Amino acid sequence: MQTSSYFDEMLKQALHIKTRAYAPYSHFHVGACFRSEDNTLYSGCNIENASYGLTLCAEAVALGKLVSAGKKRIVEGIVLGSGEAFCPPCGRCRQLIREFSEDDACIHFVKGSGKSITIKTLTISELLPFSFGAPQLPAIGKNL
């Protein structure tokens, strides 16, 4: 699967916003960047809390920025974490992304740094197959 011409800018923004992560408990910093249908980029970092369960994932923060800017569709995204491994989204974030994506929305994962990065790309339907969404709620779905 291909990356788009927006990939480099998304990577730059995800790397930058990862430096803003507030993660004093896990020390695991995450950056995410999503591209909306009009090719605007929205990025977010994880925001932890002393009440651990209140933690906001980077994807949720980026998605909140996209939706509160009036956008409804993620067409491409990137997620990266600390360390040398890929940072696949947690289950909750997969469902959050799925709400605002077509099945073929591409999410890229990046590990490594500089010139030696490795990219893995999956669609949201690969990340969250046979998922629950508006079509399962016809009375609500038809109004979206």
Q: Write out the residues near ligand THU by the rule CB under 6 A.
A: 23, 26, 28, 30, 46, 48, 55, 57-59, 89-90, 93
Taking the complex as a whole, how short is the minimal distance between the CB of residue 5 and ligand THU, in angstroms? 26
State the residue for tokens 């949720």: 60
Cβ proximity to ligand THU: between 57 and 74 the closer is 57
| Main-chain phi, psi angles of 95, to 5 degrees | -70, -40
CA distances from 7 to 34, 127, 132, 133 (A): 10, 19, 29, 28
59 is catalytic: yes
Cβ proximity to ligand THU: between 90 and 144 the closer is 90
Taking the complex as a whole, how short is the minimal distance between the CB of residue 8 and ligand THU, in angstroms? 22
Cβ proximity to ligand THU: between 23 and 119 the closer is 23
Q: Report d(CA 117, CA 137) in Å as an integer.
A: 41
Q: Report d(CA 38, CA 53) in Å as an integer.
A: 33
Taking the complex as a whole, how short is the minimal distance between the CB of residue 59 and ligand THU, in angstroms? 6
Q: Report d(CA 42, CA 30) in Å as an integer.
A: 14
Catalytic residue from among 59, 76, 84, 126: 59
Which residues have a catalytic role annotated? 59
